[in-house]
Amino acid sequence: MAVYKRGGMWWYKFKFDGESVRESTKQTNKRVAEQIEAAKKTALAKGEVGLFDKKHIPTLRAFAPQFTEAIETRCATKPATVRFYKDKLNRLLAFNRLASARLDRIDEALIDSYAQRRVRTISRRKKVLSPASVNRELATLRRLLRLASDWKLISRVPRIRLLRGERNREFVLAHAKEKAYLEALKPPLRDVAALLLDTGLRIGEVLTLEWSDVKLKPAKDAKHGYVTIRAKNAKNSTTRNVPLTDRASEIFKAQSPAASGYVFHRPDGSPLYQTWLNQQHSAIRRTLKLPEDFVLHSLRHTFGTRLGEAGADAFTIMRLMGHSTVTVSQRYVHPSPESMENAVTRLQALNASKVQGGGTKLGTVDVASNQEEAQVA
């Protein structure tokens, strides 16, 4: 039996089908460890631990077309996501050791080797790649290997650790700087930016917004007009209506409302290019000496932050911004001492009104109230 002690625990190591098998038995008793090693060998021989026919396990390069086809199918309504995965996959394939490795041979050591090489790579901007850039590639590899596991091509997905030091773009445009920023912009970016601030839409949602989904007249019993953002994929299947501020309504009115077509478009009627707007935004950002973290998406983040400051709860923010879960929305809610005081004050007023209206009284049992509650129940 090839067991050995390491760090107080017994490990086993042996060759099976030309491959090295090494694992901890998590035992301090050598006899028990030997029994576990024997059981492992027996299980491997019987094929009970997910051992697959090595002839059918492709290399990363050979599996790449299947992964791409799966992404194109699953993200058919999100072309930007498809382009993202294709680009990151090409980065992975450029590392020959990884691309030529069979999927079941891609382990933590090989992945770390890839990451170490990438963090030393110089980008087109003559800068070392950021942790965020490398992490997007590692995330792509993780999704690919999970797909291979789902398809029973591999029995185990290696643990992929993302690099530390990734900056989160949490820039919030202050009200004091908003006026100068918007005045420095030229149409149509000025109108797009103002809409992002007042509606919290994603930049893609603004650029693909059609006139048929813009309702300047308030619905019955409502105070504001609204825009309808329709679901475009299965993951986020909820269509949402976003009320319009007065400024947002004026922006739409100034665009010469039409019966159909995109609100913001090029001369041929097609949507504006986001990259074109990004370039204009970056130029103004540099002119005003604003932080590099200030991107167009920051305006949506600013909207969410302002909602939280205005007292909106996480579920309201989730519905307005179209988040898939309330967890994302919760980061915008930061209860202040004042807001908590106000909440307790409102609770106290509610309790007092119920008592005055014949509800439960301290020290006594309000029979009438109990009977009424029983009937409701």
- Answer yes or no: are the C-beta atoms of 77 and 233 closer than 8 Å: yes
pLDDT at 49 over 60: no
* CATH no., domain 175-330: 1.10.443.10
State residue 239's pLDDT score. Answer: 86
More confident residue, 45 or 113: 113
The model's pTM is 0.59
State residue 290's pLDDT score. Answer: 94
Peptide bond into 187 cis (omega under 30): no
pLDDT at 280 over 60: yes
pLDDT at 53 over 50: no
**Mean pLDDT, the chain, as a whole number?**
85
pLDDT at 321 over 60: yes
Share of the chain above pLDDT 90, in %: 49
Q: Can you say whether the dihedral through the CA atoms of 15, 153, 156, 93 is positive or negative? A: positive
